[in-house]
Amino acid sequence: MVEMITATYSQEDADWAITVSGQGKELTARAPGIIAARDRADQLVEELGGEGKTTVVHLLNGSAFEFTQAYMTARLTLPKLPPLEVPPPGSVPKQQKAVAEKKPALPPSKQLPKAVEESKPAAEPAQPEKAAEQARA
């Protein structure tokens, strides 16, 4: 048998009051926002217990639609953040630029021995003619 439980919400200043009723019992609580109130209602439903399947109807001002609208608006609304401040071009100090351009050092386990490093030929700039000849071959 399916038990029906009703969770009724009402806003009191910045807080929300929750009343969960069902199975001949009624539990109340408060929460700082509608999202927290919905989570608290789930906890109260668990406290009511119940054997079998339970269906919870969430109501705001007697309407499940109003509750859903308020809850989804709260869930999908991004918090207000201060605007991002981007410094004007060229305002980065030279010292910070030098640090940013410097490549990180390899850990000792990844470094080549000095003898190998010194004998490595300098990298030659790519020549398009040679690359074209190699591609034809």
pLDDT at 23: 84
- pLDDT given at position 91: 74
- Residues 125 and 129: their CA atoms lie apart, in Å, by 12
How confident is the model at residue 1, as a pLDDT?
A: 64
Give the pLDDT confidence score for residue 14 in this predicted structure. 83
Helix (H) or strand (E) holding 19: strand 15-22
- pLDDT recorded at residue 7: 96
Strands in 3-12's sheet, in edge-to-edge order, are 25-31, 15-22, 3-12, 54-60
Q: What is the pLDDT of residue 95?
A: 59
Dist CA 52 CA 3 (whole Å): 7
pLDDT at 120: 62
Q: Which residues, given as ranges, of the chain have pLDDT below 50?
A: none
Residue with token string 């030279």: 94
